[in-house]
Amino acid sequence: MATIHFYEKPGCTNNTRQKQLLIKAGHVLVIHNLLTQNWGQEPEKLRSFFGTMPVADWFNLSAPAIKNGEIIPEAIAQEQAIALMIANPLLIRRPLLEVDEQRLAGFDPTLMASKLGLSMTNAGTELETCPNTHQHKSACLP
């Protein structure tokens, strides 16, 4: 059992499912609102969640600015990615997870086990892709 700092978008269906799985596995969650977190005051902390992941993998591919082609994650450098995420936290891949100063972006049970020491059973296979169709631009607005 671990205490997990879980940075989410409140109301996100997938974040709700992810939290339920972690709680069911016996973990204690400290919930943070990803959208109101003052990342501008701690950009290094935001950067630390992504580790050695390619920059394109730092992004929430369901964010409206990405879906409508305004932002192309594969064409962005690290510093620019962090600046964009500070300005628009919907761009940040969710959830951000922190256990004892170890950090990770996204909900990949295999990485969570190896990098954070978290174990879960019956996690399922697809827990990051947004189930909403986002036909309206306001679908993911805070």
Cite the beta strand spans of the chain per DSSP E: 3-8, 28-33, 96-99, 102-105
Q: Is 12 a known active-site residue?
A: yes
Instruction: Single out the catalytic residue among 12, 29, 85, 130.
Output: 12
3-state helix, strand and coil shares in percent for the chain, rounded to the nearest 5: 40, 15, 45
Residue 102, φ and ψ in degrees, nearest 5: -95, 135
Nearest Cα to 82, choosing from 50, 111, 113, 110? 50
Active-site amino acid positions: 12
